[in-house]
Amino acid sequence: MTPDDPYLPAPAEVIEVIEETPTIKTLRLSPITPLQFRAGQFVQLTVPGVGEAPFTPSSSPLEPERVDITILNTGTVTEQLHRASPGQMLGLRGPFGKGYPIETLAGKEVLIVGGGVGLAPLRALIQTLMADLERVKRVSIKYGARCMEELLYLDQQKQWADEDKVDVTTTIDRPQPGWGGRTGVVTTLLTDVDVDKSNCFCFVCGPGVMLKFTTQTLLGEGFEPEQIYLSMNRRMSCGMGHCGRCNIGPHYLCKDGPDINYALIKDYPDVF
């Protein structure tokens, strides 16, 4: 979708609402024009009369006529989006940003680390990789949520794990009745992680504090800054590098990111 005026949202109809967890819903949208995007690019989603907010589609770019946006209810716009129902019209601007550097992943191991709703943008990456697993050597997915009820995409996690080249490990923060899996924050899944560190790229998405501690853990495990891509989901407004809300040094996260190589930003203050 490329409207002549990049500030003008194009109509998109809500065709399905999926209740993922008590705080997270996925809106399945049918944009008036199929949304051609790369995994990791983001859109500005408008609730008419309320406002707009940035989200990274959680669905596969291979299905541009049906776009999933997975949304944590956190404030004004997201609360209205949680009230959306099938048939409602929203607005969509974008896509913006660069998207994940899929081309660099040929023959590589890929370590994907998600925290909470951070698995949503990563799902577009995972689905892109799953569509052509020959391209990569292996995919390791490490995912953490606060509690069992907040775990996203459980059925798909099982499908991903069924692939020989893919392993999925999930943890919740604290033990809970009925949970037989790992406990502890997601960084606990990264110590002695079973990947070939010399041939691996890491993609991390989650809350700011999770990005910080995950980066520290990966560096401590011997990864180089150049091997780590972070989803820097800061406040963004225009999406085109004009308003100056989201830059780290010379890097505009809306244009050069939102997934950015840690080596490019590591020396700037207040990165996290």
Ligand X SMILES: Cc1cc2nc3c(=O)[nH]c(=O)nc-3n(C[C@H](O)[C@H](O)[C@H](O)COP(=O)(O)OP(=O)(O)OC[C@H]3O[C@@H](n4cnc5c(N)ncnc54)[C@H](O)[C@@H]3O)c2cc1C
Is 114 an interacting residue with respect to ligand X (CB under 6 A)?
A: no
Contact with ligand X (CB under 6 A) among 21, 59, 60, 78: 78
70 binds ligand X (CB under 6 A): yes
Task: Tell which one of 37, 47, 55, 201 touches ligand X (CB under 6 A).
Answer: 55
Closer Cβ to ligand X, 97 or 193, answer by number: 97
Rounded-to-integer distance, Cα 45 and Cα 111, Å: 29
Cβ-contact 135, 106 below 8 angstroms: yes
Neighbours of 62 (CB within 10 A): 11
Nearer to ligand X (CB atom), residue 115 or residue 121: 121
Which residue is at the shortest CB distance from ligand X?
Answer: 75
DSSP 8-state symbol, 260: E
Least distance (Å) from ligand X to the CB of residue 86?
20
DSSP code string of 221-232: TT--GGGEEEE-
Closer residue to ligand X, CB minimum distance, 45 or 200: 45
Residue 75 binds to ligand X (criterion: CB under 6 A): yes
The alpha carbons of the chain give a radius of gyration, in whole angstroms, of 18
Does 77 help bind ligand X (rule: CB under 6 A)? yes
Tell me the per-residue interface mask from 232 to 271 with ligand X, x by CB under 6 A, - otherwise: -xxxx---------------------x-------------
- Provide the b/e sequence for 121-143 (b: ≥16 CB within 10 Å): bbbbbbbbbbeeeeebbbbbbbb
Residue 12 has which token pair?
């998109």
Residues that bind ligand X (CB under 6 A): 42, 53-56, 70-72, 74-78, 117, 120-121, 233-236, 258
